[in-house]
Chain A
Amino acid sequence: MTLTNILVFIGAAALYVALLPERLRRWALYAGSIVAIYWLQPALRIENLDFIFPTATLVLVVLGWLLSRAPEQRWQREDTISAGIMVALVLALSLAGRMLVESVRITPSRPPSPVSLAVVAIIAAALLGGLSWIGHKRRLFVPAILLIVVLFVILKTTPLAEETARLLRERTGQPASLASASDLGWLGFSYVAFRLIHTLRDRQMGRFPELTLREYVTYAIFFPAFTAGPIDRAERFIKDLRALPGREPTHLTVGLGRIAAGVLKKFVIADSLAYFALDASKAAQATSTGETWVLLYAYAFQLYFDFSGYTDIAIGIGQLFGITLPENFQRPYTRRNITQFWQSWHITLSNWVRFYVFSPLSRYLLMRKHKPSPTVLALIGQMATMIVIGLWHGVTWHFVVWGVWHGVGLFMHKVYSDRTRMAYIRLRDRPRLNQWIGIAGTVVTFHFVVIGWVWFALPDMATSWDVFLRLFGL
């Protein structure tokens, strides 16, 4: 999200609060989110792809809604209106994009023609409509989740993304030799995928609330959180959406304050640290141990201020529109141990993986005839959780190593805390010693995390390993 995006959203929020009657606000958030995902999508080199990706996001979201509806939930008039608005907006964006000059076009490049889009819309509507009449939707949950995972793997695995880009280039008559993974820059897909899997899985477990199409789409693509989270839960989001505040100034003051803090963190502090934060070229140039540590510390803080700054901006914009998005960071670098760190770093992602990976896996292992010991169970659970988080950032070996690094850290901390629990309880009587141990814990935890960033920041195993050794003078 750029400063221009943020300013436009603030301006839109001012109009939203000042002009819109409350009954229209939910519609405004719905329509605004649909338009915003086209506007936020950056231009891509493959023809029409920057229009196709947001459209495909909408198709997937509608698919998610159809599958996550309760069996008894009926198609309502409001859903028809919502679907009509969605189709009308997409066609209008296409029409406007082809008729208006580039400087006022809302889409990143010239969109496909409304006629071809209308054909696609009719086919998609027929397929989705047919789907909505199918009785036993439970059978479709696994294929739907698999479809999302497969798309995710293609986008996050460089060779697969390159091959897909090559195929798409051939179809559009563009030079296939120039294909690269960055051709498939599908904005917001990762976060939308998490939200869709959450709704499908919760419906499968029979614990998902009834949402209208408008509510579901607004939740899945709510524009402040569309590009980089936080990953809200549908039931919490809908509670806010159904009780949007009136013209109260608190949401505006809170929102603007959060946006100001976020802009400072992201555009001033993080962007300044980026000048000397670790990356592949700087790693090659700064060769001594001390220099490498400086780059690594800069990277660690750049990452934190960048991401938590963005979260502040997202939460702030959400507040302007009356939605309270969940917190994502709670001073993670001050935590006393690695478990606490992961309870305060990218909290919504950690919670998501805990709910949908760690817990089901643990339950599965415990239900087996030969149950693993609690230690083995913890090891498998922690490793699987952290490797999934690693792979979410990209399907590469260095992200796997980063995941393993944290999985091992979490496992070791669990073993350590299990064995020292009584000693720590006794420490409560000695607050000064307890405080010093806490400080030592923070320093050790911080450096464990910082060293782990080596595998996260650098593009390949060889460079990461070289820098890792250099940190210790090897």
Chain B
Amino acid sequence: MQTWKWLTQPTKPYTWGFMARVVVKAAVLFALLNVIFALVNPLPTLGHMSAYNTLLTGRERLPYGENPPASYNLSLYNLPAMVESLTVDTAPADDEFRVLLLGDSSVWGILLEPQDTLAGQINRLDLRTADGRRVRAYNLGYPTMSLTKDLMLLDYALEQAHPDLIVWLFTLESFAPDAQLEPSFVQNNAERVQALIRRYDLSSDPGDPRFVEPDFWESTIVGQRRALADLLRLQLYGVMWSLTGIDQEYPDDYTRRSIDLEADETWHDFTDPQTFTADDLAFDVLAAGAQRVGSIPLLFVNEPTFISEGENSDVRYNAFYPRWAYDEYRRVLDEQTDSAAWPPTLDLWDLLPDAECYTDSPVHLTPTCEAQFAAQVGDAILDLSAAGS
């Protein structure tokens, strides 16, 4: 074969000495590259090398997918690569009023197409601020419930996205102390999260054993091969995302949220009804977020949740919450909202009483109900933009 002449017909016959030198040099080079990789840790830098927003269409929401061949999306832990893949990673237009939405899977939009998510619905409203700027919402939701995860995303996005306003959406589940470091996305970004815990003196333990802190060998190319492969896969799935606009698997059939519930009053580590204080929940993380955003307006939103009228609905609102826990949470939230230093809070927990609004979870909405929710959040955005200008 012509292409292989240099190899198959060498000008000088190969010798065992030559072979040995090649093997030794290759082994040394390989070892050296691994050591340099482990010492330098180029993964964050590699994460910034993205074909999105140039060769490929930017994504409307963060990469997340458990069945990549069906969703053209995958879950990875490289925060720079994830944010680089979003449309938010472009400079704002002159007439743009840029709003970042933080939150859980309800903001990310499980079972919703990108245009039907909260961000998509707000953009569909084509809102204008008092000074004529077009409101453009960006989805930074991620399908796990943890305020610490949101804080990590906020901290990173503030450096990249130049927002004019931030809307942080949550529900009680995100406040559970044991949920703060639970997402593997958080555990695999240990350095960032530990820095935040220390900087804002959060109640989570920076030495929590769940943090994934690779040792030297795990930091080499060999040890990080999965992370490297994920970076490449994110770019490759971007082609099909660009061509089809599909970034999530939409099953024809799925399990609906439960209407009939167990008579169980347990919520996380709390086995019996009790009185909450702000210290029992992760309000310190919200406070840290408020401090982190500085002068940028911040809006807190307690998102709509399903209120069941089925069996044992006198004990529980839904599969997530015993009534006592959710009522206590709202009471403490009210107390915080009443304090002067607290950013404005929009409590929309019972905005959507129709059971048909909720799909597979007590917080996942249908497109129609998401539109109602978006109208409320949109109004609040305009109010806040007017107050800030």
| Interface residues, chain A, with chain B CB atoms under 8 Å away | 248-250, 252-254, 257-258, 261, 272, 275-276, 282, 285-286, 291, 294-295, 298, 327, 330-331
Contacts and interface: CB of A to CB of B under 8 A. Distances in A.
Interface of B: 1-4, 7-8, 10, 13-16, 18-19, 22, 232-233, 236-237, 239-240, 243-244, 246
B238 to A, nearest CB: 9
Nearest to B237: A275
A285 B3 CA distance: 38
B172 to A, nearest CB: 38
Given A254-B7, A258-B4, A327-B1, A276 B22 contact: no
B49 to A, nearest CB: 16
A275 B236 contact: yes
A269 to B, nearest CB: 11
Contacts of B8: 254
Contacts of B233: 275
A176 to B, nearest CB: 27
A249 B16 contact: yes
A282 B240 contact: yes
B3 A253 contact: no
Contacts of A331: 2-3
B10 A285 contact: no
A285 B246 contact: yes
A153 B78 CA distance: 50
Nearest to A284: B244
A253 B7 CA distance: 8
A contact patch SS: helix
Contacts of A254: 4, 7-8
Contacts of B243: 276, 285-286, 291, 294-295
Given A327-B1, A330-B2, A253 B244 contact: no
A120 B243 CA distance: 55
A275 B239 contact: yes
A249 B14 contact: yes
The 8 A-B pairs of least Cβ separation, nearest first, read A275-B236, A276-B239, A285-B244, A291-B243, A249-B14, A249-B19, A257-B7, A286-B243
Contacts of B15: 249
29 contacts: A249-B19, A250-B10, A250-B13, A250-B14, A252-B14, A252-B19, A253-B7, A253-B14, A253-B18, A253-B19, A253-B22, A254-B4, A254-B8, A257-B7, A258-B4, A272-B236, A275-B233, A275-B237, A275-B239, A275-B240, A276-B236, A276-B240, A285-B240, A286-B240, A286-B243, A291-B244, A294-B239, A295-B243, A298-B239
B13 to A, nearest CB: 6
B301 to A, nearest CB: 34
Nearest to A273: B236
A272 B240 contact: no
A292 B1 CA distance: 33
Contacts of A285: 240, 243-244, 246
Nearest to A271: B236
A275 B19 CA distance: 37
A145 B13 CA distance: 45
Contacts of B14: 248-250, 252-253
Contacts of A250: 10, 13-14
A206 B233 CA distance: 55
Contacts of A330: 1-2
Chain B contact residues: over half helix, strand or loop, or mixed?
A: helix
A20 B18 CA distance: 22
B110 to A, nearest CB: 20
Interface centre among A249, A254, A291 (most CB of B within 10 A): A249
Contacts of B240: 275-276, 282, 285-286
A77 B363 CA distance: 79
A254 B2 CA distance: 14
A277 to B, nearest CB: 10
Contacts of B1: 327, 330
A172 to B, nearest CB: 32
Contacts of A327: 1
Contacts of B16: 249
A286 B244 CA distance: 5
Contacts of A295: 243
Contacts of B22: 253
Given A272-B236, A331-B2, 6 more contacts: A249-B19, A253-B14, A258-B4, A294-B243, A327-B1, A330-B2
Contacts of A282: 240, 244
A65 B222 CA distance: 47
Nearest to B20: A249
Contacts of A298: 239
Nearest to A290: B243
A240 B307 CA distance: 78
Contacts of B4: 254, 257-258, 261
A336 B8 CA distance: 26
A455 to B, nearest CB: 21
Contacts of A248: 14
A258 B244 contact: no
Contacts of B237: 275
A463 B21 CA distance: 54
Contacts of A291: 243-244
Contacts of B244: 282, 285-286, 291
A85 B164 CA distance: 79
A275 B239 CA distance: 8
Contacts of B236: 272, 275-276
Give the residue among A248, A253, A285, A291 with the most B Cβ atoms within 10 A.
A253
A252 B7 CA distance: 11
Contacts of B19: 249, 252-253
Contacts of A253: 7, 10, 14, 18-19, 22
B241 to A, nearest CB: 10
A456 B56 CA distance: 28
A331 B1 CA distance: 10
Contacts of B18: 249, 253
A320 B46 CA distance: 37
Nearest to B68: A275
A473 B317 CA distance: 53
A188 B61 CA distance: 45
A256 to B, nearest CB: 9
Residue among B7, B233, B236, B237 with the highest chain A CB neighbour number at 10 A: B7
A295 B18 CA distance: 44
B183 to A, nearest CB: 26
A366 to B, nearest CB: 35
A240 to B, nearest CB: 14
B202 to A, nearest CB: 39
A254 B14 CA distance: 9
A254 B232 CA distance: 30
Contacts of B246: 285
Nearest to B1: A327
A327 B2 CA distance: 11
A275 B74 CA distance: 12
B2 A272 contact: no
A272 B232 contact: yes
A291 B246 CA distance: 14
Most chain A beta carbons < 10 A, residue from B2, B236, B246: B236
Nearest to B244: A285
B58 to A, nearest CB: 17
